[in-house]
Amino acid sequence: MEKNLPKASTQKITIAEIAAQAGVSIPTVSRVLNGQHDVAPATRARIEQIIKESGYIRSSAAKALRKGSSGIIDLLVPNFDNQYVTEIVHGVEEALERTGLRLAFSFSQGKSLGERQWLDKIADRATDGAILVLARGQSSRLNELRRRGIPFVVVDHRGELGPDVPSVGATNWAGGRMAVEYLLSLGHRRIALIAGPPSFRCSLDRIAGYRAALEAAGIPIDPELIRPGDFRLHSGYTQTGALLALPDPPTAIFAGNDMQAMGVYKALYLRNILVPERMSVIGFDDIPFTAIVSPSLTSVRQPLFDMGRVATTMLVRLIAGEPLDSPRIELATTLITRESCASPPSPSLKIREDSQQSSLE
Amino acid sequence: MEKNLPKASTQKITIAEIAAQAGVSIPTVSRVLNGQHDVAPATRARIEQIIKESGYIRSSAAKALRKGSSGIIDLLVPNFDNQYVTEIVHGVEEALERTGLRLAFSFSQGKSLGERQWLDKIADRATDGAILVLARGQSSRLNELRRRGIPFVVVDHRGELGPDVPSVGATNWAGGRMAVEYLLSLGHRRIALIAGPPSFRCSLDRIAGYRAALEAAGIPIDPELIRPGDFRLHSGYTQTGALLALPDPPTAIFAGNDMQAMGVYKALYLRNILVPERMSVIGFDDIPFTAIVSPSLTSVRQPLFDMGRVATTMLVRLIAGEPLDSPRIELATTLITRESCASPPSPSLKIREDSQQSSLE
């Protein structure tokens, strides 16, 4: 991505221009800049000469030369209502501390500015670049940033953006498969999924992971066990009610994300159905409260802190005019096992607990 | 507080200077500026004349004249591990949106800068003022800000600062009393308190509120029922174990804050003691997850959003050179009742649940 900030006081040559002058590809220039050895000596010498003559600024030297720089990075987040945002912010903050850049903060939801107003505002403000955690991946907004020459990276926890947008995400398909494989390993065969909104790429990827795990285990997909949700507590709550009303209810619920898992907990609590004795529950995201609730929630961890950190590193490279290794990076999800999953109830346990439940009602 | 920023390009007269010239007290000048009518007409006319001649800037006009202003407010928070911080940030953000000032963000804990490093850094940076949510109310740090002429306001959720430091807090004593009065109204007589650290003013105030409510009800204080904590989950967990081991255990636990309440939940969950049927639990802070957990937690609400909002309003006045109505403001706490409190168990229910518990163990 080219940078063309009107306020910049130093002229910079881009990697693309070096490549054009040297008559080589951009990745070749990048390999030379990164000190890799797989470039022919003559080519390397030619590229290094152009770099030297052009005044191309490597990132370590870039900071000192950015006299026209505001020294400020803008971070836009929807709000703090979901703890995943705060994890991302921590990662951004840690990466920025090493750069000397300052973090300016805006919310796109809630009582203050909307995303459109924020974009109008950022144009009036000095900024070196932006990290965006969007409420919806609206590509029109991103085009607006491009048009204004503002470097940006999206922390795309929903996986909605195309591969050409600088963004960091997580491996949702692998995470979904992992959650179901774990439940299968505990002996579950009736495993429900409360999915997220079908407009979110991450949601479709998690459903695909769920299907892949069941199919690999030779278990037919029961469409009754796949329920739509919206990633909020309430849909976890209502869909659990619907699942329990089935003639053959599940013994485990993959809740799609941690907020929906809290809705599952609430529905089970009100029916006096114990977790994990009578129902296993697994979330996705691994936001901080998963470890705090009782029973603590087993969840597929999105490395939100690392996603914020990597997005910041990418943005600093873009600001310095350096190439990205790849515009789209996906970090690995991992399973964090806690107290909310167990083997499915045996028939004798089921009877004992049913009698308990009636004694409380 | 006087403002003496070296970067300011406009000369401002302070309220104190106006008062000295008019031969009146500072509160009198403040009353004239605020349009109050309890100032003698001749005095009012004299003060208004001095204000006019001096070029004193009221806040509405101040912004346009602050040519030397950075347009940036610095916010320092410990981290996001406790949700109360995110509530405060939301309040700051909402108040700032009306001012056109920008919010720069730093953490004093975790992997990045400490508070001392932050103070060194803020001296190098252009800032109009700072809002501080301190990990500890270290007055030496505040003196350092004063020395550098940086206006600041502390969101002092622990009530540790003296009355002369510009700060916003909450009524902790009234909140503690309110929590215990509610438990008394449900019929509880054995009410435990897991307190916060004795070095925090808010903790001492909540203990005093607890005592006041019990004394007003004619219930003797049992020192065994007042346990020390550190406001974290683990002390709620371990102190609940100690309380349950008493010969005459409590029927209700006032957990001191919401994180400790989550530790109480965990200790009760592992012993299969139902909330609220066999134990009532009440928290303090009312951070967002209190509504999400099952059962949802009854809690004394600190108006954290409003505390952030009011601190910002105070800071904007300080930056504009206007007087504060009071350097220390305390906002009211309120009781938010949810699912975690009920009347104490009757002897018959106690026996029934004890038999249940043994059937699960």
- Asked whether the beta carbons of residue B294 and residue A90 sit closer than 8 angstroms, the reply is no
> Would you list the DSSP string of A58-110?
PHHHHHHH-TT---EEEEEES-SSSHHHHHHHHHHHHHHHTTT-EEEEEESST
Collapsing DSSP to helix, strand or coil, B193 comes out as strand
Q: How far apart are CA A16 and CA A14, in angstroms?
A: 5
Measured in angstroms, the CA of A317 and the nearest CA of chain B are apart by 21
Least confident interval from A63-77, B77-91, B308-322: A63-77
Per the CB < 8 Å rule, is A105 touching B107?
Answer: no
Chain B residues lying within 8 Å of A289, measured CB to CB: 289, 292-293
Q: What percent of chain A stands above pLDDT 90?
A: 47
Q: What is the mean pLDDT of residues B82-99?
A: 83
Average pLDDT (A123-128) is 73
Which residues neighbour B55 within 8 Å (Cβ) at sequence distance 6 or greater?
A: B11, B12, B13
Strand, coil or helix: B341: coil
Q: In DSSP terms, which residues pair with A329 in a beta bridge? A: A168
Q: What is the pLDDT of residues B21-76, one digit of tens each?
A: 888 877 777 666 655 567 777 887 787 777 666 655 444 334 433 445 678 888 88
Q: What dihedral angle (degrees, nearest 10) is formed by the CA atoms of A19, A23, A27, A30?
A: -50
As a residue count, chain A comes to: 361
What average pLDDT does range A156-177 have in this prediction? Answer: 85
Report yes or no: A279 and A252 within 8 Å, Cβ to Cβ.
yes
Among A72, A86, A360, whose Cβ lies nearest the Cβ of B86? A86
Contact list in B for residue A268 (CB cut-off 8 A) is: 294
Mean pLDDT lowest among A8-17, A132-141, B333-342: A8-17
DSSP summary character for residue A327: S
- Tokens for A344? 């499915």
- This model of the complex carries an ipTM of 0.71
Mean pLDDT of A232-255: 97
List CB contacts of A282: < 8 A, sequence separation 6 or more: A179, A182, A183, A252, A253, A254, A255, A261, A297, A298, A299, A300, A340, A341
Q: How far is B18 from chain A (nearest CA, A)?
A: 36
CA distance A91 to chain B (A): 10
Decide if pLDDT at B181 tops 80: yes
Contact (CB<8Å) A81/B266: no
Contact B97 A113 (CB under 8 A): yes
Residues of B with CB under 8 A from a CB of A: 72, 75, 79-81, 83, 86-87, 89-90, 93-94, 97, 102-107, 110-113, 125, 233, 259, 262, 265-266, 268-270, 277, 288-289, 292-295, 352, 356, 359-360
d(CA A269, CA A264): 8
Chain B neighbors of A352, CB-CB under 8 A: 359
Whether A112 and A169 have beta carbons less than 8 Å apart is answered as no
- CA-only gyration radius of chain A, Å: 25
| Lookup result for tokens 């022919």 | A40
Residue A341 tokens read as 């999953």
> Of B190-204, B266-280, B345-359, which gets the smallest average pLDDT?
B345-359
Residues 6 or more apart in contact with residue A292 via CB below 8 angstroms? B233, B259, B262, B289
Range in A35-44, A270-279, B185-194 the model is least confident about:
A35-44
The reported pTM is 0.75
- Map residue A222 onto helix, strand or coil: coil
The torsion defined by the Cα of A156, A162, A165 and A170, in degrees rounded to 10, comes to 30
DSSP assignments along B114-169, one per residue: -HHHHHHHHHHS--SEEEE--SS--HHHHHHHHHTT--EEEE-TT--S-TTS-EEE
d(CA B294, CA B281): 12
Residues of A with CB under 8 A from a CB of B: 72, 75, 79-81, 83, 86-87, 89-90, 93-94, 97, 102-107, 110-113, 125, 233, 259, 262, 265-266, 268-270, 277, 288-289, 292-295, 352, 356, 359-360
Contact A94, B112 (CB under 8 A): yes
Query: Which has more pLDDT, B51 or B279?
Result: B279
pLDDT of residue B182: 98
User: Which amino acid is present at A280?
Assistant: S
What sections of chain B are H helices per DSSP? Answer: 15-22, 26-33, 41-54, 59-65, 83-97, 115-124, 139-147, 172-185, 201-216, 233-244, 258-270, 304-319, 347-360
The chain-wide mean pLDDT, for chain B, equals: 81
Residue with tokens 């403040």: B30
Evaluate the omega torsion of the peptide bond into residue A295 and state whether it is cis, within 30 degrees of 0. yes
Contacts with B287 (C-beta within 8 Å, 6 or more apart), sequence order:
B82, B83, B84, B87, B258, B304
Integer angstrom CA distances of residue A205 from A108, A177, A326, B279: 26, 9, 21, 43
Does A107 contact B125 at a Cβ distance shorter than 8 Å? Answer: no
A27-62 burial, b at 16+ Cβ within 10 Å, e below that, comes to ebbbbbbeeeeebeeebbebbeebbeeeebbeeeeb
| CB proximity list for B286: less than 8 A, separation 6 or greater | B258, B299, B300, B301, B302, B336
pLDDT-based confidence at residue B5 (cuts at 50, 70, 90): very low
pLDDT surpasses 70 at B358:
no
Q: How close B101 comes to chain A (CA, Å)?
A: 11
Q: How confident is the model at residue A18 (pLDDT cuts 50, 70, 90)?
A: confident
In total, the C-beta contacts within 8 angstroms joining chain A to chain B are 98
Shortest distance, CA B72 to any CA of chain A (angstroms) = 9
E runs forming strands in chain A: 72-77, 102-107, 129-132, 152-155, 167-170, 191-194, 226-227, 252-254, 280-285, 298-301, 328-331, 334-336
Q: Is the pLDDT of residue B229 over 80?
A: yes
- Answer whether A289 sits within 8 Å of B294, measured CB to CB: no
More confident residue, A132 or A193: A193
